[in-house]
Amino acid sequence: MDLDLKGKSVIVTGGGSNIGRAIVLGFAAEGANVTIGDIDVEQAQKTAELALRSGAATAQVVKTDVTRLDQVQAMFKTAVDKLGSVDVLVNNVGWDKLMFFTQTQPEFWQKVIAINYIGVLNCTKTALELMVPRNAGSIVSISSDASRQGEPREAVYGGVKAAINSFMKTIAKENGRHGIRCNVVCPGVTIPSTSEEVGTTSMWVDAGSMFTPEQLEKIAKSLPLRKVGRPQDIANAVVFLSSAKAAGHVTGQVLSVSGGYSMIG
């Protein structure tokens, strides 16, 4: 199916590694122009080069710390200067370190909030300033099924991701009259297929500190589909939701892509 994304201007934050990388390549396959905002420029550049080989009209990298509004604004300016507009924003940047809440400290809380939530606020505000005057646009934020179920060792992260779910619903209601659609994708456990998909700043750089092979096997067996997620699974949902042709009447939705871990009506 032609998703009518060819030539569209798409920004993907954290697009160098893992889920973000797959999202970039998903848009590339549709012939989009992709701007990757990432603090790991080397890894993002590898993804951009692969995106060009995969069909992207253009692919560029802008070093961006999403917790800093000035850097976010500079990233959007770079995209607009080159492409004239921003049609799609994917708030993908995320970070966590698995530990029980009693093991955490305020410094950790602030880092999780800044990367996972303040970054979404910065990017969404900047995107809306461009999209509202044009009466068009799509914003997709990556949340987590930890926001819907509650998950041990992800208390702060899950709470912040729940905030994203609520925030995006509100943004959808406020800006639907401007033709802007806002949706959320909630991954479950989603692991890179190869080490090449992971940059040095990724939370998956030391995969063994996240889950042991035995834990992943148990997780897979507990899911209705009997398998953990891969980045492409998430990318497929994001690209679909970004398409006005395929999902033009879909907004304010929180979609779990987790092998059936979360089933919320």
In the chain, domain spans:
9-257
Those residues whose C-beta lies under 8 Å from the C-beta of residue 169, and which sit 6 or more positions away, are: 182, 252, 254
pLDDT at 249: 98
d(CA 90, CA 175): 17
Which of 131 and 198 is assigned the larger pLDDT?
Answer: 131
pLDDT at 200: 74
Residue 157 is a catalytic residue = yes
Residues in the chain: 265
Give the angle subtended at the CA of 248 by the CAs of 126 and 15, to the nearest 5°. 45
Compute the chain's Rg from CA coordinates. 17
CATH number for region 9-257: 3.40.50.720
Among residues 76, 157, 204, 240, the one annotated as catalytic is: 157
Would you say residue 207 has pLDDT above 70? no
pTM above 0.85, yes or no: yes
The whole-number average pLDDT for the span 51-76 is 98
Question: Mean of the per-residue pLDDT values for the chain?
Answer: 95
Give the angle subtended at the CA of 259 by the CAs of 97 and 160, to the nearest 5°. 35
